[in-house]
Structure 1
Amino acid sequence: MATGTRYGVDFRAALPADSADLAALLGGEAQGTARSMALRLEAVARDPASTVLVATGWNGAVIGVVALSRHPTLSADRPLARITALVVAEEERRNGIGRLLIKAGAQAARAAGCDLLEASAPPGPGAAFLGALGFHAAGESLVRPLRKRGEAP
């Protein structure tokens, strides 16, 4: 898993202590309270096919999150990793945090044996952002290969 510091931002697995920051970051009533977020994080932590990585700023507050879920498909020999959440705090956008979260998520997916990273096609500038990171349209989704051609699994 990709952890460590890049450009003054720390990347690591989400912890139960991040619940309040994640609830605020994901926002809206649908995301609920810090307590409900803690319960969701606990459920995701129990699922070996799920990964949640956070980016934290200089003060330790969560400023970004990427969540992945891995599953087998009928169209490939190896599992696919799907981005289920990708959010960067509004005041931190356009600082490269999203790009680094995608990179960290891709590294985690590769380490878990996945060959493809998939995301829902977001409206507006989100699709252009993912396109700039190597994602291309595949039906209703955007996908990006995780291995170079000819690279052994």
Structure 2
Amino acid sequence: MIIRTLLLLFFFYFSYSLKGQVSSCISKLDSLTGLTIYENCEVGATPKLGFNNFYKSIGKTINFSSDIKKITLDPKIFIGLIINENSEVSDIRVLYGSMSMISNKEMVLDLLKNTEWSPAVCSGKMVNSLVIIPITICLK
């Protein structure tokens, strides 16, 4: 009886320890790349120099088309980056808006592709994740 109680206590202790907890990470299969993408990670993917410096570099690099007011009424672009477990940008896609608003698309895409990242972490493992970069253009 004592051994059974000790075994149960041992089991419950390790079931609810940090390594035994159920992860809150949600995995989904990306239909375009075939990669498993994780959401709600304990640690999200971040640029190694930080998001502030990352957004500043985007702001310094990006040039907008001179006829932007003719192109769109909603001057927003959401760009999705898949950051893989090796800290690399494995895919870039426009989730909302149009890249036609940007006159130097290739420079912006090169900046996004060549930024160094720290990957997302789920249950102590580095995993693939989607990072969404919002860009809003002020038309004033």
TM-score range (shorter-chain normalised) is: under 0.3
Point out which structure has higher relative CO (alpha carbons under 8 A, 6+ apart).
Answer: 2
Structure 1 length normalisation: TM-score?
Answer: 0.25
Structure 2 length normalisation: TM-score?
Answer: 0.27
**Which structure's residues are more often helix, by fraction?**
1
Q: Larger radius of gyration, structure 1 or 2? A: 2
